[in-house]
Amino acid sequence: MIPRLTDAERAALVDLLPEWSLAKDRDAIERRFAFADFSEAFAFMTRVALLAEKHDHHPEWSNVYNRVTILLSTHDAGGLSARDIRLAEAIDGLA
Ligand code: H2B
């Protein structure tokens, strides 16, 4: 079982991942991205998909034209784990 983040690790998120926020109704983090058009948004999603495969950790996400919303949570942990933080940092590296 993958451990969920501790309270101290959660408190550090605001500095570590300032663009991400805690989801309202889930133990998850989310970030919204906006691009020039659909093509840019989908190119970004393609890069995130490759990252997700590399990390063996996968986003819950949606796309509406030029906007992409990504939610990260660890199903195997029933909530936020270090795996979400690592993937979020890698996604931030793309954006
Ligand atoms: N992604 C996410 N978000 N949570 C998981 O628990 C998870 C995953 N588990 N991707 C991985 C795949 C697991 O199912 C495989 C077998 O490693």
Q: What residue ranges define each of the domains in the chain, with the CATH number in brackets?
A: 5-91 (3.30.1360.20)
Please state the pTM of the whole predicted model. 0.97
How do residues 39-71 score in pLDDT, each as one tens digit? 999 999 999 999 999 999 999 999 999 999 999
Q: Please enumerate in sequence order all residues whose Cβ is within 8 A of that of 79, keeping only pairs 6 or more positions apart, or say none.
A: 4, 5, 26, 27, 28, 73
20 CA distance to ligand 1 middle (Å): 20
Residue 95 has pLDDT above 90, yes or no: no
Residue 1 is predicted with a pLDDT of 86
ipTM for the predicted complex: 0.94
- Quick one: what percent of the chain has pLDDT higher than 70? 100
Top mutation candidate among 61, 75, 81, 87 for ligand 1, by most atoms within 8 Å of CB: 75
3: which DSSP letter? Answer: P
Q: Is the CB of 74 under 6 A from ligand 1?
A: yes
Q: Please enumerate in sequence order all residues whose Cβ is within 8 A of that of 69, keeping only pairs 6 or more positions apart, or say none.
A: 30, 31, 32, 33, 61, 62, 63
- Quick one: what percent of the chain has pLDDT higher than 90? 98
Question: Can you read off the two tokens belonging to residue 69?
Answer: 């919303």
Cα separation of 20 and 42, whole Å?
Answer: 20
Ligand 1 atom at minimal distance to the Cα of residue 84: 3
